[in-house]
Structure 1
Amino acid sequence: MAACFGATAAQAETIRIALAEQPSDEMAAFFVALDRAKKAGLDYEWTAFAEEELAIQAVLSGDMDIAFGTPYAVMQRSKAPVRIIFQLSRLVFFPVATKDYATLKDLDGVPIMLHSRAGGTDSIANVIEDREGITFGERSYVPGSDNRVVAMLAGQAEATILDLSNRNKIIAEAGDRFNSLPMFEVKASDEALFANLDWMQENEEAVNIFVDALHSVWTDMSKDPSIISRETDPNGPIGQLPAEVLAGIDKFYSEAVAGGLYDPNGGGREAAMADLEWYTMAGQLEGDPASLNPDDFWYFAPLDAAMK
């Protein structure tokens, strides 16, 4: 599925954006930012890919300009001039287990159900093992937090890792059966935007408009999460979602902002340093995090300009 929007002020090129999934309520803030960027003169089009890896490859091949993801291993291995420019969300996830387990240490040897191999929840499991000195049992993979909730309720697993909304859902529905285990704070990126550095420098004006719009939305949202539902275009891709989904947008963003899912400043250097430490512990980066250069993974100029 793809969509294209024309802006009033012409740019040198139309930015081609690769989404890692179909538009959903969790992407409403991103589309509000696109609407603001359009009003500021940005031409763009977006294409939804089936998974993050396909979006990453589309940027590496030059078929797309900007994509969702945290391709740290790819950036280090390929030496491709790809850089992250904005942290969309943090790795705010929650281990949930049956009432047999009350702490992370209790999960030593316990099988765990995760989203995908080498994905965000797999990384979280690796870091939990490292920090807590435990080793999970067999790892199984069920994409989608909502699908893992169904599996947990059906008794198909004893432990999993869920996003904020689905953690709240399972505890509200079956808090007598499940515990949300205490989790350490994480400032590393779950979703970020990245692009080819050469392309960004050649299209500086368009990239700056885009990042400035993102920064403005993330800042406004941190003060008033309801701005997302109010600015959602009823005729856009989010506005076309089912009415029951749209009705939950305020609740989702209120909980997400309160839960620390979004950095109002788009991550920047703090997120870059957290990412290097996190993804090294997770096994996706090689070397000592202190010896890695954030400028090899992030391009800070557009966000620096937006923060001014």
Structure 2
Amino acid sequence: MSESSLITTPFHSKSTASEVVSGVNLTGRRAVVTGATSGIGLESARALAEAGAEVTLAVRDINTGKLAAEDIAVTTGNPLVKVMPLNLIDRSSITSFVASWRGPLHILINNAGIMATPEMRTPEGWEFQFAINHLGHFALTTGLQDALAAADGARVVSVSSAGHLRSPVVFDDIHFLRRPYDPFLAYGQSKTANILFAVEASKRWANDGITANALMPGGVRTPGVARIQVTPEEIAKLNETRTGYPEIIWKTPEQGAATSVLLATSPLLNGIGGRYFENCNEVGPQDSGNQSGVAPYAIDPEAAVKLWELSTGMIHS
């Protein structure tokens, strides 16, 4: 991908979600945002509602979700803000969400996620970060394919991270059964999977008019980030891939949500899929000469196919 073919926009690292969606009319459009009770997810949902969309907050805690929905409705003047239960670690919860959805879905922002957690496993034995950050969203999105296809031009937004530069998907040992568990490698692998998903979904679903893109939102002090206890050794590891805390320029949640909202709404992205964005602009492959970009392994079409087929087998096992 040449630099000249990268998609550029008038927006940048300081742009907010509200600024990005200004002038966009989403009246009659329906959107789902996962993990929308706080931080980037909350502000993404708020911006979509501000533009007139009917927004469904897909959340684990219904009571917290209702408070968030009320806040969004009051601040935007849009009463079309709904709440539905969704636990991405529970396959029955995902199945129930999909089964209860009616009608088209124009925008799906796969925002929920966890970061650098201690070693944990699902009842299936899956590593927790991979299960929530990738497999849960994979099951949700593929389950909603018909609803997305019915929207005629639906967009899927996959919230990744520069943390993906830490690790490819290690197909030989995704669940850390044979290698020592490293919370940041596990996180990086799951964020690479988010990008590979966007690459393959855009290819497989092109005839349905569905596009998917991935992004790095930037450094935002979300509750998940605040809970991380980082040792000096771990900071050194993070600094190797530009994501160390000393180098982060922290964004507000409103700024962190801007790239997600851009991918969900901008006319510049009509028909565009399988790409990776930072600071509201597309970036190309990372190399030793730059300090941003997407790892070549995260946009490798063969890895994308392999991950899709593996994920399909896992969620239907």
Calculate the TM-score normalised by the size of structure 1. 0.31
Structure with the higher strand share, 1 or 2: 1
Structure with higher RCO (Cα < 8 A, 6+ apart)? 1
Structure label with greater radius of gyration: 1
